[in-house]
Chains A and B, each alone.
Chain A
């Protein structure tokens, strides 16, 4: 096995067993799982509410039961029986329907019953009945009734401007895109900060505890640098695989649930299976790599364990800056946002969001991605050089002094 693999394996194995990584991966799943389980449990155990109906028309009870769709059971009852059963808390409410002079009703419910009985549903059902009765009394035909009840129509259409043309969008598309964009930003921010910090900490600890010199006498700084980077990325890949598996399992269950089916039918999820999505993934990969490289450089700057937190700071700051800008981008496409979406470190959060919101074209996104890739290549080359010099420099006078000293050594090394 090459030394690259040994370093990578070491980083991976050490972190994958650590409590903080397990918490990072499992906590969102756990909280989501608990929320779903609670909701499902509540919906499964809720028994239908029982309502007694005092009426002389059996048609009313039939119509009400049909409209309630199992959530409420309406039963015809005599007034005294109904009152007795309500007092005994055997039933949840009493609906009294009178037909003369006109169809009207009174609904009494126990204060602590918490039923799903909705007065607007009751009104709708009774209005429908009343309409039928009135139509019958006036000898109106079905067509006449239809003409009377049909309201005036107002239609709304949402369009997006793509490549200078209006493209029809489902009403919910914008909402879904916005949601996708916000989830994406948070995800990228959390991942780049968390994994960046992890790598910085890893290197800083080795340097601070002087393990670095032993490592450097067995493997080259370059091998070590890339081995560590690969180890952290393997860790990230593991997390994504865990989420993918959890996602597939959840999907097989959820897609069989009625409310999910209804929800899916009403929204346009095309943004998830589009070029936007692909670009977001590419930005995510390039961005995480860029952050990881920065983290390695930051980690190599420390002189002792106490400086580790300071070393992680630039990563958090850049991650947060991108997040703030991406948040601003959701309210409008200002010049600052447009420029920043081409700046490495910021672009990874900003460009996918602008793209999802329709503020940027595909071409612009590819251009920004190209800038990021070129930057990453140059930055990595620079980082390896900085890293090689830095890991041997210990300056207790602080990180800036350390950097100056590293620069002197670097120049001395370049001369030879």
Chain B
């Protein structure tokens, strides 16, 4: 289990990470979200021992991470890099050997991984001759082939098309089922909602959200209402507590000041019997992200 306790890091006058705490258990996927400069990469770098925290601790199964733990880490940096002139196979072999794998084992496993991520290209191709998407997949394979127990992925979905993004999702799930503790950062809230068990949001180094996806959403209350009923725009606006309204065809999307307003609208809308849609939900992660990220701009 990875545990961050009260982690703080400053660079001169700037506080990059401020009293950050969370845990990632084996078989759990944690999404770290936040705008650029929120402190995600600094967090990763402190976990990886690239940077020493000013205060607080990072532990793995209760012990500080040491050099001996390097072999069970899989790390994909935000900005991808491979040796352009090296052959695909040599590249994967080099990175995997640095994680303590034997050359023969690596060679035996490469084909299955190329298949899993549907890499188009031969093992003997030079990396620079592959398309950008395929290069990214090769990098992912190099990150994951040694079946790490702690996986750190910095923006793994950026630059992937939906098909490849779902391949990556499958890969992440596979590692989770294999008992890996996975932590990744993302801007794409769709992916975050789909695969994260747990979520932490940073803003200017401070933790603004921390919990499971459902718990975080519920904590905002069911303030979103999607409704298709005989009530027209004017009727809906007339309810006290409707703060925003948008129309999508026959459907209206309402933002409520208080979840309780929903009951009054439901009563009025169903007065005449059947209606096709009434759905009251908490705000989406995307909306929460925007709400939280924009808070200091208000």
Q: Which residues of A contact B (CB under 8 A)?
A: 1, 3, 6-7, 10, 14, 205-206, 209-220, 392, 408-409, 412-413, 415-416
Contacts and interface: CB of A to CB of B under 8 A. Distances in A.
B70 A218 contact: yes
A392 B50 contact: yes
Contacts of B60: none
Contacts of B70: 217-219
B52 A416 contact: yes
A211 B53 contact: no
Among A10, A206, A212, A218, the one with the most B-chain Cβ atoms within 10 Å of its Cβ is A218
> Which among A10, A14, A211, A219 has the greatest number of chain B C-beta atoms within 10 A?
A211
Contacts of A408: 11-12
11 contacts: A1-B97, A3-B98, A6-B97, A14-B86, A206-B81, A210-B79, A214-B75, A214-B76, A217-B50, A392-B50, A412-B10
Contacts of B71: 218
Interface string B130-173: 00000000000011000000001000000000000000000000
B98 A218 contact: yes
A409 B42 CA distance: 12
A409 B11 contact: yes
Contacts of B97: 1, 6
Given A409-B11, A412-B10, A416-B54, A216 B48 contact: yes
Contact of B81 (A1, A214, A219, A416): A214
Of A213, A216, A217, most B-chain CB atoms within 10 Å? A217
A215 B54 contact: no
Contact of A412 (B11, B81, B98, B142): B11
B77 interface: yes
Nearest to A414: B52
A300 B67 CA distance: 22
Given A210-B81, A214-B77, A219 B50 contact: no
B94 interface: yes
Interface in B75-122: 75-77, 79-84, 86, 94-95, 97-99
A14 B84 CA distance: 12
Contacts of B142: 214
Contacts of B268: none
A216 B95 contact: no
B11 to A, nearest CB: 6
A185 to B, nearest CB: 34
A211 B98 contact: no
A214 B143 contact: yes
Contacts of A3: 98
A217 B73 contact: yes
B82 A209 contact: yes
Contacts of A7: 98
Given A216-B48, A218-B99, 4 more contacts: A6-B97, A214-B76, A218-B95, A416-B53
A412 B99 contact: no
Interface string B249-288: 0000000000000000000000000000000000000000
Contacts of B98: 3, 6-7, 215, 218-219
B5 interface: no
Given A3-B98, A218-B98, A209 B75 contact: no
B51 interface: yes
Contacts of A216: 48, 50
Nearest to B146: A218
A152 B143 CA distance: 87
A218 B50 CA distance: 11
A212 B81 CA distance: 8
A213 B45 CA distance: 9
A387 to B, nearest CB: 13
